[in-house]
Amino acid sequence: MKDQQDEERGASILSLLQDDGSLAHLAHEKPNLLARHFAKKMHVPDPERTPLTMPHIIKDTLLEVKTSESEVRKKLLEVDKNQATGSDNISPHLLHQCANELA
């Protein structure tokens, strides 16, 4: 039953292009492919390097960010999927299409 649900959930995501040029069609392949893709985006080239400090131009600072799964899903569904890919190289169409899985 769980495998069938996973296959049905993965069917909502279109086939994805893998690094070797082949397409990922199966539901169990797609999450791994997406995880690798987003992990590359989150890679810090030199984690020991002290980050640059920006001058504080306001007195208030943000200490905590609170959000929910439904809020993230709503924002992803609001993404204009016809917009060009940004500097992060993540397709707005992909974000919109995978909103449920990413939230």
Tens of pLDDT, residue by residue, the chain (103 residues): 445 544 455 467 788 888 888 888 888 888 888 888 888 888 777 888 888 888 878 888 778 889 999 999 999 999 998 999 888 888 999 899 989 988 8
The domain tally of the chain equals: 2
Instruction: For the full predicted model, state whether its pTM sits above 0.85.
Output: no
Question: What is the Cα–Cα distance from 81 to 91, expressed in whole angstroms?
Answer: 8
Domain span at 103: 65-103
Question: Rounded to whole angstroms, what are the CA distances from 98 to 31, 49, 81, 90?
Answer: 10, 34, 11, 12
Question: Are the beta carbons of 76 and 68 closer than 8 angstroms?
Answer: no
pLDDT for the residue 8? 54
Return the amino acid letter for 27: A
CA 57 and chain centroid, separation: 31
Strand 16-17 and strand 23-24: the pairing is antiparallel
Is there a domain that residue 48 lies in? Answer: no
Identify whether 56 is part of a domain: no
- Same domain flag for 1 and 38: yes
The answer to whether residue 29 is domain-embedded is yes
In a domain, 17, yes or no: yes
- Structural domain includes residue 79: yes
In a domain, 82, yes or no: yes
d(CA 31, CA 26): 10
